[in-house]
Amino acid sequence: MAFKTQSEDEGAMSEINVTPLVDVMLVLVIILLVTAPLLTQSVHVTLPKTVQTTADVDEQPLQLGIDIQGVITINKIPIADLGALEIALKAELAKNAEIGVHLYADKEVVYSKLAEVMAAVQHAGISKLAFVTLEQ
C-alpha cells in the first residue's frame, strides 16, 4: 500500500485517523474490566443473633376450590352458584380487607368455569388471588 503525499493542488485531507480513538476505547475497556469486580464486593459485617420466631399469620387465605364437576367450595364448604360465591367473598372481605384467595382447580375444569369464578373474585373486590399447583 503506497502513501500519497499531499500536494498544494489537492486541497484539505478528508481522512480521519481512528487509531487514537481505538486506543482510548481499549484503555477504557481495560479499566472497566479491572474495576467491575471491585464494585460487586460487599461489606463484611457480623450480624447479631436472635431467638428464632414464627410469623404472625392469624388470617389464613380463603381456599377456593373447583372440582371436576364444577362444584365451587370455599374452605371446603360447597357454594350454590356464582352469586352466592360473590356474596360470601364480600362478607369475608368485610371481615378482613387484606384477605387473599388460594384457588384450587382440577386440571380437567373447563376454562370458562374458571374464568367465571375469577371474575366473581374480582367483582367481590379481592385483589390477592393465587393459583395452587403441584410440584412436578
pLDDT at 8: 56
pLDDT at 22: 94
Decide if pLDDT at 23 tops 90.
Answer: yes
pTM over 0.75: no
- Please, which residues bridge with residue 129 across strands? 101
Q: Is residue 6 part of a domain?
A: no
Q: Is residue 81 part of a domain?
A: yes
Phi and psi at residue 20, in whole multiples of 5°?
Answer: -65, -35
pLDDT at 10: 62
**Mean pLDDT, rounded, for 124-129:** 91
Domain count, the chain: 1
Q: Is residue 1 part of a domain?
A: no
Confidence of residue 60 (pLDDT cuts 50, 70, 90): confident
Domain range for 96 is: 62-131
CATH code of the domain covering residue 104: 3.30.420.270
pLDDT at 51: 81
Q: Is residue 40 part of a domain?
A: no
Three-class DSSP category at 113: helix
Q: Is residue 102 part of a domain?
A: yes
pLDDT at 50: 79
Closest CA to 100 of 57, 36, 43, 49: 57
Q: Torsion over CA of 41, 46, 50 and 54, rounded to 10 degrees?
A: 10
pLDDT at 35: 85
Q: Is residue 51 part of a domain?
A: no
Q: Is residue 72 part of a domain?
A: yes
For residue 50 the three cell numbers come to: 436472635
What ranges in the chain are assigned the alpha helix state H? 19-40, 82-95, 111-124
**Mean pLDDT, rounded, for 50-77:** 82
pLDDT at 87: 93
Q: Is residue 123 part of a domain?
A: yes
